[in-house]
Structure 1
Amino acid sequence: MRAKAGDRMVTHGRTVGREDRVSEVVEVLGSDGAPPYRVRSRDGHESVLSPGPDTVVEHRTERRGG
């Protein structure tokens, strides 16, 4: 997985009724775009994320209006 600042991380809900968690990459802590990432969630909370298989990257250039 590779990401850069401004990309979005979408972690899919693992149980029925659980919404996807969407966060924005604010800093790449690994080398050459690799994890871990410092991310900011919609409520403004920041954390460090080492994504698992249920997480996908939406690159800024791939999103509409991007």
Structure 2
Amino acid sequence: MYAHEGDRIVVRGHHFDQPEREAEVLDVEHEDGRPPYQVRWVDTGDEELYHPCPDAIIDHVGPQYPPEYEPQLVCS
């Protein structure tokens, strides 16, 4: 699992009546995108260091590439 700043994390509820939670990734601790992530929860506005559970899904915003394949802008 990897994420980048601006990605969205969705955590599914464990029970039928438990709602999903959604958070925005504010900061990534590791250069390769591994957890933990600094997130802001949409429902409460709280910020915390988050280690994703197996129920978490990362919704990537825009095209994401591993750092070694990140496109480079070349201006001439």
User: Which of the five TM-score ranges fits, normalised by the shorter chain?
Assistant: 0.7 to 0.9
Moved over 4 A (4+): none
Q: CA-atom RMSD, angstroms?
A: 1.2
Gaps of 5+ in 2: 64-76
Between Structure 1 and Structure 2, whose CA radius of gyration is higher? Answer: 2
Q: Distance in 2 between matches of 1:47 and 1:28?
A: 12
State percent identity of aligned pairs. 39
Name whichever structure is richer in strand by fraction. Answer: 1
Aligned length: 62
Gaps of 5+ in 1: none
SS in 2 for 1:47: strand
* TM-score, length-scaled by structure 2: 0.76
* TM-score, length-scaled by structure 1: 0.87
